[in-house]
Structure 1
Amino acid sequence: MGKLNFYLEALDRNHRKPHENPTIGMLLCATKDEEVVEYALSRFLSPAMVAEYQTQMPNKKLLQAKLHEFYQILAPVEEEEAP
């Protein structure tokens, strides 16, 4: 959680646009252990929620399509910022 919050803060400070909402993070775990989750999240002041546990990853082609879609949205922004 510490690393996740570090990266979220870095994104918000350095890359978030004024019209965008604060960045959210997603922590994916290989196994379900409610006790570990409870201890890991208990000291964080910002709201952290456990949405759901899934025993299988989403379809690989769906993930690839979503990543491609995401990068297509970002590509024009990155090109404009290049010197």
Structure 2
Amino acid sequence: MKQAAVFVLSAVTLALFALVAQAFDPGACHPDIEKYCKNEKVVDGELKACLKKHLAQLSDPCKANLVDLWLEKKKMDAKK
């Protein structure tokens, strides 16, 4: 029973990460990342903080992509 619960939880977690990965198109933000956040680390949350810091300067396609990603994350968080 415990193994089944762990398996289901793992499967749901992987599905959620896949959904977030699909929602974000790094190509839309690539020029902005190169311009404003080139040396930031993704794993430490530095890139996310940098993009938020420069939100007003980001290109429209990048902004739209980030908004879609943040809205999708908010929906997933609400389902928890």
Question: Do the two structures share a fold, i.e. TM-score over 0.5?
Answer: no
- Between structure 1 and structure 2, the one with the greater Rg is 1
Greater relative CO, 1 or 2 (CA 8 Å, sep 6+): 2
If the length of structure 2 is used for normalisation, what is the TM-score? 0.28
